[in-house]
Amino acid sequence: MFGVITGVIASLMLFINIVFWCSLLFIFTFVKIIIPVPLVRKGVTAILTAIANAWVSCNSGWMMLTQKMDWNIQRPVSLDKKGWYFVVSNHQSWVDIIVLQHALNGRIPLLKFFLKQELIRVPVMGAAWWALDFPFMKRYSKAYLEKYPEKRGQDLATTRKACAKFREMPTSVMNFLEGTRFTQRKHDDQDSPFKYLLKPKAGGMAFAMNAMGNQFRSILDVTIHYPDGIPTFWDFLQGKMQRCTVIINEKPIPEELLDGDYENDDTYRLHFQQWVQMLWEEKDRQLDALHSAS
């Protein structure tokens, strides 16, 4: 019963936090829309980013008030709020997003996720993501491109346009390479070669790299481990997630992978896939050690 009460209080605080900060966010977004002056828009964008960072900080605040969490966060001392980062992580629960924000907020620029175009229709949050310049991707399948070859390259051009503004403001781009949350059933259906991970999808990462060019300073490879089992979001709100380990490693991006044609260059695609495979093999070994230790 106590857990349910905690969950209700945490849910209420989460809801109030969303409503309050989104209200401020939309006021300044309106200013950004009606005054199409580059200098004004740049200033308003900085304000919107500050609001989003405050929003994330308040999430950490209500978490500390409602959760008795034993955090084990290991991160490099070299993290820079004025840098450009590509962040990758394993994905097990919707809680991962709040964990990542809590671990990195204030240490690197605001995390921005590459989102599917359809997500802009999500009530409230879709508008908030648009206001914060989250890049919305519209990728075409091979079957679609075979039917409409004139569309080839348009998805990359659209993403490059969305990312152009990131060249003027430090940004952290976040990507879950597995593409979906880990479950044992998905793992078995994939016949995944990894013990604690699904197969990584290198295409989305390569797509972002190609769109951003050599803008990224480095990659932040994040490993999230829940020693007491993977929590649902409701478990988390109830305070049932007692421990969380987050290990963040900063790694260089091979220069030859910063610019290439993943879809049409077989050599580049193979090299990119091999590099991602190597990252995932190392992450799986790390998770195996964490599971053994806990």
pLDDT tier for residue 101 given thresholds of 50, 70 and 90: very high
Which pLDDT tens digit goes with each residue over 261-285?
Answer: 887 888 999 999 999 999 999 999 9
- Check pLDDT > 80 for residue 157: no
Burial 167-183 (b: 16+ CB within 10 A, else e): eeebbbbbbbbbeeebe
pLDDT higher for 23 or 150? 23
Q: Which of 242, 226, 247, 235 is nearest to 69 (CA)?
A: 242
pLDDT tier for residue 175 given thresholds of 50, 70 and 90: confident
What pLDDT is stored for residue 118 in this prediction? 75
pLDDT tier for residue 14 given thresholds of 50, 70 and 90: very high
Report the chain's mean pLDDT, rounded to a whole number.
86
pLDDT higher for 275 or 121? 275
What pLDDT is stored for residue 229 in this prediction? 92
Structural domains of the chain ordered from first start: 70-293 (3.40.1130)
Burial 99-128 (b: 16+ CB within 10 A, else e): bbbbbbbebbbbbbbbbeeeeeeeeeebbb
How many percent of the chain have pLDDT more than 70? 89
What are the CA-CA distances from residue 227 to residues 45, 55, 224, 243, 292 (Å)? 39, 27, 10, 6, 10
Which pLDDT tens digit goes with each residue over 197-239?
Answer: 999 988 778 877 777 767 787 899 999 999 999 999 999 999 8
What pLDDT is stored for residue 141 in this prediction? 63
What pLDDT is stored for residue 166 in this prediction? 74
